[in-house]
Amino acid sequence: MGVLVVGVARVGHALPVTKQGEPADAAGTSAAIADKSTKDPQMDLRQALTDLRAALVTTAYPLLLPSADEARQDVTTLVAQLDDYLLPRLTRLDAPLLVVVGGSTGAGKSTLVNSMVRAPVSTAGVLRPTTRAPVLVCNPTDTPWFRHGELLPGLTRTSAAGDEPNTLQLVAAPALTAGLAFLDAPDIDSVVDANRALASQLLAAADLWLFVTTAARYADAVPWELLRTAQSRGTAIALVLDRVPAEAIDEVTAHLSEMLAENDLATAPLFVLPETTTDGQGLLPELTIAPLRDWFSQLAADADARAAVVRQTLDGALAALQSTTESLASAADEQVKAAEVLDERVHAAYRSALRAVEQGLGDGRLLRGEVLTRWQEFVGTGAFFRNLEARIGQLRDRILARMTGRPAPGAQLQQAIESQLVTLLRGVAAEAAENAYAAWQTHPAGAALLEPALGQPTDDLPERAERLIRDWQRGVLELVRREGAGKRFVARGAAYAVNAAGLAVTIAVFASTAFIPTGLEVATGASTTVAAQAVLQAIFGDQAVRNLAAQARTDLLARVDTLLDEEAQRYRVRIEAAGIGVGPGARLRRAARTVEQARTRSTLGQAGHPPRPGHPPRPEGAWS
């Protein structure tokens, strides 16, 4: 650096203060008059923040949605700010003021910190990035607070310089006024991702952010993005414009001032340091750094001024929680909505499959082919009716089956029915799986959850479908027994008669008109339906026929519905495994409202007319 020329180009406006140094409200009343609505508003606020933190960490954004990545990042940032700054600072409002020195690569942050404490406490050099691990400098009397306090709990304290970004080097500097600490942060535009992330984390833990830039870098986009973030949080901000050529001071300062005004930072104190050289220790000349040192020294010496800065930043950060949490709640609502949409798409696919089965039972298709042939064989030319009245038919069929090696006609019909129904179930299940898979593919969250196996029915579906049909057929037989209790054929025909009637009921289920012939049924074999109807009416009566068919059909559809629901569950478990909670958005909003109510009751915002964001109160006579 060249020979320093001191210049303090502009400073902001101060809050009116009382004689005791307490910021005054519009009526001149001291803000020390606290809200007495609760015994300990600060404790209420800490509890509200703790509850908000719990709501944040238990809200997941697992589905791949446009808002998910940003939401996860915001949660991480917000939880870090709660842990690193808000909760610890609320515990000790009177703790030393933490000034985080941040800025672009090569802006001279370390040189500035060293010069402020008149000792080379933070490594400065030409290699970039220079500051890899943060360095915190404070008066020896304040060291216990930073070493044992809860501020930035995720950083391991150390007394030696290091390269590990998860460490915080503590340095005691007697030249620094007690009540004030400087934290030299990594570059906000570092080429190292971890350094940039740590810099943002440290800035969120600042009571006051001292932003350092140069005449060559002050218009860079990255610093302004962070400045706007700090401004939106209400963080107190001061700026140092470093290494300004003497001939360009007025022009550069004027342009930077315009940029600050455009970004609602016109009241932020601005210190301009002309280009100069450093001494043998790499320190700026005392004359150059004196205005900035004096400003901070007076700020450190005035407990009320320090408290006002802390309260402003703390209150601003708390106020900003409302909008950030609302964004997170909206993103959480989107997760729930997406899960519901995905579930509905699966439900629609398998609901359509159930309708296909219902249609298959009613449109006559199951009366064609093998089932029709076996039924006609079973009914025969009248022997079926005689068999219902005598056991001899059963004995005849057994002997015939042994002699010919062929199953009895009833067994063949039963197998044909089972095969036809299993084929139907396999077909609709396959179509449902394909439809659900395709529906999820068109949704970004669904596509991310898919795996190829979901596009096909489960491997054991055929076996489960066969078991379902057999269980249903047994249920039909039991239904026939109950309905035919006391009937003459049950008493005399026993099991054979029941089986025969059960097969007739099964055939009856395949027609929605309960065997009142229609054109479709005539086309598929009117003699079949009429025969089945005649059999059942002869045994049970006309109304009982309808009841039996309706009950058996309802039972079959219920079993099919269960089977299809088990198939659909493969999709649902993927949604459930994502871990979307119940009502996460509402939970976040409630927690945020509680924080805002507690903030309103606290003494943080009781300073009458609070300063604009980035405008810390100043000690009297600190600025020239």
Distances (CA, A) of 516 to 365, 368, 524, 531: 16, 17, 13, 11
Question: Looking at residue 198, what is its pLDDT?
Answer: 86
Neighbouring-strand partners of residue 208: 99, 236
β-strands 167-172, 97-103 pairing: unpaired
Most confident of 229-243, 312-326, 414-428: 312-326
Q: What is the pLDDT of residues 388-432, one digit of tens each?
A: 554 434 444 443 444 444 445 567 777 777 888 899 999 999 999
At residue 76 the predicted structure's pLDDT band, cuts being 50, 70 and 90, is very high
Which pLDDT band holds residue 164 (cuts at 50, 70, 90)?
Answer: confident
User: SS3 sequence, 276-291?
Assistant: CCCCCCCCCCHHHHHH
Residue 489 vs residue 34, higher pLDDT: 489
Highest mean pLDDT among 93-102, 191-200, 516-525: 93-102
Q: Is the pLDDT of residue 618 over 90?
A: no
Confidence of residue 366 (pLDDT cuts 50, 70, 90): low
Residue range 212-236: average pLDDT?
86
Distance CA 502, CA 277 (A): 105
424-448 mean pLDDT: 96
pLDDT of residue 441: 96
How does residue 319 score in pLDDT terms, banded at 50, 70 and 90?
very high
* Percent of the chain residues topping a pLDDT of 90: 42
In this prediction, residue 495 carries a pLDDT of 55
Residue with more model confidence, 544 or 293? 293
Cβ neighbours for 313, distance < 8 A, ≥ 6 positions apart: 206, 207, 208, 233, 234, 235, 236
Greater model confidence, 75 or 92: 75
For 103, the enclosing helix (H) or strand (E) is strand 97-103
* pLDDT score of 476 more than 50: yes
Tell me the C-alpha distance between 317 and 235, whole Å: 7
Measure Cα distances from 157 to 82, 135, 170, 201 in Å: 19, 10, 7, 16
Residue type, 119: A
User: What is the C-alpha separation between 489 and 536, in angstroms, rounded?
Assistant: 12
Rounded to the nearest integer, the mean pLDDT of the chain is 78
SS3 labels along 50-83: HHHHHHHHCCCCCCCCCCHHHHHHHHHHHHHHHH
The residue-averaged pLDDT of 108-124 equals 87
pLDDT reported for residue 39 = 66
**Cβ burial 447-478 (10 Å sphere, 16+ → b, else e):** eebbeeebbebbeebeebbbebbeebbebbbe
Better pLDDT: 495 or 36 = 495
CA distance 341 to 266: 48
Tokens found for residue 202: 């440290």
List own/partner pairs for 26-35 with CB under 8 A and 24 or more apart.
Answer: 26/608, 26/609, 27/608, 29/608, 31/603, 31/606, 31/607, 31/608, 33/606, 34/603, 34/606, 35/601, 35/602, 35/603, 35/606
From the list 417, 351, 391, the residue with the least C-alpha distance to 552 is 417
Buried b (16+ CB within 10 A) or exposed e, 297-311: bbbbebeebbbbbbb
- The packing angle between helices 526-540 and 488-509, to 10°, is 150
Dihedrals phi, psi of 363, to nearest 5 degrees: -100, 5
In the prediction, which pLDDT does 66 show? 94
Residue 610 has a pLDDT of: 35
Q: With 50 as the cut, is the pLDDT of residue 608 above it?
A: no
What is the DSSP-derived secondary structure letter of residue 85?
Answer: I
The pLDDT score that the predictor gives to residue 484 is 65
Q: Which residues contact 416 (CB under 8 A, 6 or more apart)?
A: 370, 371, 373, 374
pLDDT at 4 over 50: no
Answer for the pair 150, 87: CB distance below 8 angstroms, yes or no: yes
pLDDT of residue 79: 95
How confident is residue 292, by pLDDT bands cut at 50, 70 and 90? very high
pLDDT for 536 equals 59
Taking 60 as the threshold, does the pLDDT of residue 12 lie above it? no
| For residues 162-182, average pLDDT | 88
Please tell me the least confidently modeled range out of 50-54, 478-482, 490-494.
490-494
340 contacts 371 by C-beta, under 8 angstroms: no
Determine the pLDDT at residue 32: 35
